[in-house]
Amino acid sequence: MVALPPGERAAGTPTRRGTALRLITGNRQTMVGLCALGAFAVVALLAPVIARAPINTQFSNGFAAPTAAHPLGLDGGGFDVLSRLVHGAQTSLLVGLIAALVGMLIGGTVGFVAGYFGGRTDGVLMRITDYFLVIPDIPLMIVAAAVFGQSLTNIMIVIGLVYWASTARLIRAQVMSVRQRTFVKRVEAMGASPFFVLTRHVVPQVTPLLVANTVLMVANAIFAETYISFLGLGDPSVVSWGRMIQDALDQGAVVAGAWWVVLPPGLAVTLVVLAATIAGQGMEDTLNPRLKVGHLAVRRFRVRPLHGALDRP
């Protein structure tokens, strides 16, 4: 309710374009996370340039420590680790992005429809959502991967199907709260159609939250892809970080002391998940200033190492 003197513009003015920009630049944490993700994306895109060694050529009969020709050494099958690492980045990032988008699309749609129309529509959609929320996700992914076949497309869809539920809940709650605001009532009083109200007033208010949530979901999706591959349910025809870790285990890298085979993919997963997580949390902080105030924040230090941690308290 604070009235500004005429002509004066407050810092951090929530203009429409400003909100989008502020979501990205408004928080150092977000910037760091997004830059790190960007760096990984560049590496993934430039994979053939960075690592010239072909990924399917055996250079030796077993582990070989790093050399100038193979900066990260060779794994138990005699394959170049660096080459597999950067090509694996393509797989992991692609799966993370597409799966998160699938989840955002399903969860966002369900959330908007349930929150806006309410009543019976809401009841039915939310019971379905509850069902997906309580399914233990790892067993579901294992079963789905087994039933539908081990292809990359299937993995993306399965991860998206598992993670949309928490997004739907979050968006529904936000839409419901926006719906109750006087300005929405006012637009309805003007005789506007539900489509007009939804597209002009509700969606712009909820979209930043959806974006932040999706970035967080990227972290979960990458993590999920890694352990699906580690469990041997990934696409056998492509290299991914999860598969590299699985191969390392199968070939006895730990016993052989071949740290150069285990550490790179493990560190890569950790860093990407961390980057996406801090970027998403930074966006959340920008959107909800209460999170910055210690006693109002749910958790002061919030890094979510495990999947499924998207569920809000």
Partner 1 sequence: MMASVAAPLLEVRDLGVDFDIGRGQLHAVRGVSFTLHARDRLGIVGESGCGKSTVVLAMMGLLPPNAEVSGQVLLNGVDILAGGDSSMRPHRWCDISMVFQGAMNAFNPVRTVGDQIAEPIRIHLKASRRDADKRVAELLDMVGIPASRAARYPHEFSGGMRQRAALAMALACGPKVLLADEPTTALDVIVQAEILQLLRRVSDDLGVALVFISHDLPAVAQVTERVAVMYAGRVVEEAPVARLLTAPRHPYTAALLAAIPRPGAAATVRSILGEPPRLDTPVVGCAFAPRCPSVADICRITEPANTFDGDAVVACHRATPAGLPG
Stretch that binds partner 1, among 35-43, 53-61, 121-129, 186-194 (CB under 8 A): 186-194
Site for partner 1 contains 11 (CB under 8 A): no
When binding is defined by CB under 8 A, the residue of 49, 190, 298, 306 that contacts partner 1 is 190
- What DSSP letter does each residue of 16-75 carry, written as one string? HHHHHHHHHHS-HHHHHHHHHHHHHHHHHHTHHHH--S-TT---SSS-B---SSSTT-B-
User: How would DSSP label each residue in 75-143?
Assistant: -TTS-BHHHHHHHHHHHHHHHHHHHHHHHHHHHHHHHHHHHHH-HHHHHHHHHHHHHHHHS-HHHHHHH
The answer to whether 237 contacts partner 1 (rule: CB under 8 A) is no
- Does residue number 312 form part of the binding site for partner 1 (CB under 8 A)? no
If binding is defined by CB under 8 A, does position 185 make contact with partner 1? Answer: yes
Short-list 209, 135, 201, CA closest to 172:
209
For partner 1, which is the closer residue by CB, 112 or 164? 112
Tell whether residue 52 is a contact of partner 1 (CB under 8 A): no
Among 123, 136, 194, 204, binds partner 1 (CB under 8 A): 204
Q: Which residue in 173, 192, 203, 238 binds partner 1 (CB under 8 A)?
A: 192
DSSP 8-class letter at 300: S
Q: What is the dihedral of CA 60, 91, 310, 205, to 10 degrees?
A: 150
Of the candidate residues 189, 255, 293, 298, the single one contacting partner 1 (CB under 8 A):
189
Does 120 engage in binding with partner 1 (CB under 8 A)?
no
Residue 131 binding partner 1, by CB under 8 A:
no
User: Which one of the spans 11-19, 26-34, 67-75, 298-306 is the region binding partner 1 (CB under 8 A)?
Assistant: 11-19
Determine, following the binding rule CB under 8 A, whether residue 299 of this chain makes contact with partner 1.
no
Measured in residues, the chain has a length of 313
- Around Cβ 1, how many Cβ atoms within 10 Å? 2
Site residues (vs partner 1, CB under 8 A): 1-4, 9-10, 13-16, 19, 181-183, 185-192, 196, 200-201, 204-205
